[in-house]
Amino acid sequence: MTLDKRMFFIRNMEALQNKDVPRHITEYEVLTDANIIGAASYGPYDFLMWEFSEKKPGEERKLCFRVREKEYPSNEKPWESAEKSGYYHGGGIIDELIVLSSFFLRRRLRRGPVVRMDDKPMLSASSKTWIDKALVEKKSNFAELNDWLKAVEGLNKNAHQKFILSIRLYKEAILLIENQPDLAYLNLVSAIEVLCKEQDIEDVKLDILDRKLSRIVNKIEDDNLRSKIEICILNRERFIGRRFVAFILDNIEESFWCDEGRPEEGQINIDELPELLKRIYNQRSKFLHDGEPFPPMVFSPPYKRAEMDISLSTTIGDRKWEREEYIPNPHFFERLVNHVLKTFLVKNQSK
């Protein structure tokens, strides 16, 4: 069976052309800080104003997006055909409609709660669940800043610019982590990338880097020429992924693993970390270069604060992930990056 690679909202429109298909209607609150007027209907989708009062530019106002969607009967299980290459982007029909509207209108739009399901008004839950609850727990004391600012003052001058850029990326990550955890994850990876370029790594042989290319180069009979070509190929490589992993491993103290807030279930062991860091960097590269979205566990509050999802596999719609594809939950990687950057600061004091 060939999986459908089209966007969800297009597939839904096609399914609803059959008048006998069961369906339900969901209305969403959509928030914007721009003046958007009028209304539009596109097949089963309605884009409506909700607040009609005059507001100043930049004041938040509410819109309403109404979605008529195919209702799957209990005996129909589309997820059974899910595959590793299935269509998935981290959201559903409403998310597609919001990002497309935001792009084409050039306005900031963000999803709010469901306000009506079919003919029943819905009250959004008041309890907040957190992807990274540690960021809002306990108390912080300004008095802690003195020692850290003194350490910044003593940082090797050659590292000042890179360090502050790294910290800015970290700060943006914790601003995004609850609403856009995948983009927060990207920023956290970038915060390490800024600093890891000069990290020492072991020499890499061409056969480890690219076996196919190595076999071709080895067919060159002239030993001197073959060696020069191999050196030229390796010198073109920056090995940022390897430096990323090595930099983190080189800047972890024992105190990181002794944190009292670590969970009993879904805890990451120190021996697992090198492989998980490779997956994290590969996921970053796949997201940016191949359009490969982050796995779904990144978008949801972790079960009992687990550092890794404890399930054996995950299926959403057309897409399936096996456990060997999982990466740590965002709150674990945020804590790790915070620790690594602080360790780097302490280790790189000017002599």
Torsional class of 138: left (φ above 0), alpha (ψ -120 to 50), beta (otherwise) = left
Domain range summary for the chain, segments of one domain joined by +: 8-121, 133-201+239-347, 206-236
Contact between residue 140 and residue 330 where contact means Cβ atoms under 8 Å apart: no
Q: Is the Cβ–Cβ distance between 233 and 217 less than 8 Å?
A: yes
Over range 103-112, report the average pLDDT.
Answer: 93
Q: Is the pLDDT of residue 206 over 60?
A: no
pLDDT digits (tens, 9 = 90+) for 82-101: 787 788 888 899 999 999 99
Q: Residue range 63-67: average pLDDT? A: 96
Q: How far apart are CA 196 and CA 280, in angstroms?
A: 15
Residues in the chain: 351
> Does pTM top 0.85 for this prediction?
no
Q: How confident is the model at residue 140 (pLDDT cuts 50, 70, 90)?
A: confident
Task: Give, for 149, the enclosing helix (H) or strand (E).
Answer: helix 145-153
pLDDT of residue 129: 85
Percent of the residues in the chain that have a pLDDT greater than 70, as a whole number: 86
Average pLDDT over residues 308-321: 89
Residue 307's pLDDT band, with cuts at 50, 70 and 90, is very high
Of the listed ranges 35-39, 75-79, 132-136, 287-291, the least confidently predicted one is 75-79
